Amino acid sequence: MTDSSVGQGVRLLAGRYQIGELIGRGGMADVRVGTDARLGRRVAIKLLKPSLANDPAFRTRFRREAQDAAKMAHPTIVRIFDAGEETVTDPSGNEAQIPFIVMEYVDGRLLKDILAEGPIEPAEAVRIVGQVLTALEYSHRAGVIHRDIKPGNIMIANNGQVKVMDFGIARAISESSATIAETSAIVGTAQYFSPEQARGESVDARTDLYSTGVVLFELLTGQAPFRGENPVAVAYQHVNQNPVVPSSLNPKVSHAVDAVVLNALAKDRFQRFQSATEFREELEAAGAGTAPTKRVSVPVIDFNSTLFGVNPQATAGSEAALRQLTIDQDARGSRTQSRPPVLWIWVGIAVMLVIVIAVVAWTLELPKDSPNISAGLSHIVPKTSGLNYATAASRLRARTLVPEKTFETSPTVPANVVIRTDPAEGSSVQTKQVVSVYVSQGPSAVAVPDVTGLSVAAANAELSQFGFKVGSTTKLNSPNIKKGIIISTSPAGGSTGQAGDSVDLVVSTGVVVIPNVVNQSASEAGATLQQLQLDVTSVPDNKCSGGIVMSQSIKGTQPQKSKITITICTGN
């Protein structure tokens, strides 16, 4: 199957997916619309470049990462339904492997196409990035780091829903690559690199938050914070240059949003937002006009930092590079004093002793009925589980503690009710201690699988795999769907439900009920029987007239596609 044959959709991919027109093209893959012939649903099919499958280790990692990504079901994440590889033959007769991914089809536009039209309104930018961060909250809790957040991986559906795609795929590619330089076009466009990615270091969830900050900057201003003639130049800026404030490029951007963007783009990952939840809450507060609570720190740039393991400043020329590699340790600055000034140490010790003695003496002189001097210095975390967040936060503030809201899915605690706190209820903490309040989002949202066309047993297995239960089973006559096959479900496949919900099934009986068509006109009777998809034979009878049905061979409940003979009056 050549690429052209793939485009024509002549053959089913993996014996199941009919491939349609091209709807997207990228550096590592083409995306085509498709149809799942088994379930009859519309899908998007991403066909990766054959060059990515040359390494058998890649294929193994790719399958594993695709399986992990397929387990994530959230309204802000494009679902992965299937993945594999197809053996194809090029025009020269050489066989190659094409890795493919079958994804949820989203009727909408890529964010990068929307950005091509210029910056968007700050309120809309806050809304879009807020949903991206919601997707990252979910994926990070599942232990999945995206590694390639950029406008080309974000879809905006026609109803405004934000959908993030390609979770887990960048990891499979990056772990199968020899060097970052070889894959800079694949594992994250350089414009959206984090400093740690540019330096070739390990990544974590805060890497995704930096890339999201770059996307937010671009939505607000219409341009990326760092630009250059080549990817290395851009990556170097991520490591060694601070971005301008967005409001200097777009006066509509508030200073509160400026602060959130700069915080997200901190060079040091420990100075950034530490979670997608924190980033989203600060962004939404800034979008509503509230000043950010997290202090924004602009890191000191280390112009001796490395980029992909190379120091661009020190190795600007061959002579400089040689000096850097051959520098003698003894040639570096050394201390001129070999020991600390002894006099100042003894003075410090004496001062400390005087302070300790004074405090002890003052404590002994306190009257017996004096209030406890430790009162107000520590507090007990109050009981908040089972309360709504507003009440829980009020209780914590009453004890001079600082509540911090964090969402968490729970199959047992209702939505918007506090599950627990950290530190736990009853713990003794210092005044103004930050207490994380974990608020239930209810059970995790799961897309109901489409099981129409499956047998009851297969549908039960499919629903159980996604955490659903089979509810009531209703039998319905059908002229064409075989006995025991699912006709429809409630809720319908593709809608959003929650683990533990019941799905009602409508199952075909495999029979039809043939009505009495005697005395009906031949055309009326024929239409009725044709609708039931029966095998109809008409026999003329010239002994009667009027073109009506004189008799029929069978009626009542009969198997599908049954043969029926009707006698029609054809006499004058």
Q: How far is CA 308 from CA 197, 199, 203, 326, 451, in A?
A: 8, 5, 14, 20, 49
> Which run of H or of E encompasses 398?
helix 389-398
Sign of CA dihedral 524, 529, 532, 533: negative
**Residue 148 appears among annotated catalytic residues:** yes
Nearest to 214 by CA among 205, 203, 227, 201: 227
> Which run of H or of E encompasses 359?
helix 342-364
Phi-psi region of 234 (alpha: psi -120 to 50; beta: other; left: phi over 0): alpha
Check: CB of residue 226 under 8 Å from CB of residue 268.
Answer: no
**In this structure, are strands 95-104 and 41-48 parallel, antiparallel, or unpaired?**
antiparallel
Among the options 36, 148, 258, 450, which is catalytic?
Answer: 148
Residue 449, preceding peptide bond in cis (omega within 30° of 0): no
**In this structure, are strands 434-440 and 418-422 parallel, antiparallel, or unpaired?**
antiparallel
Check: CB of residue 229 under 8 Å from CB of residue 272.
Answer: no
H helix runs in 23-55, sequence order: none
Helix (H, G, I), strand (E, B) or coil at 10: coil
The residues that are catalytic are: 148
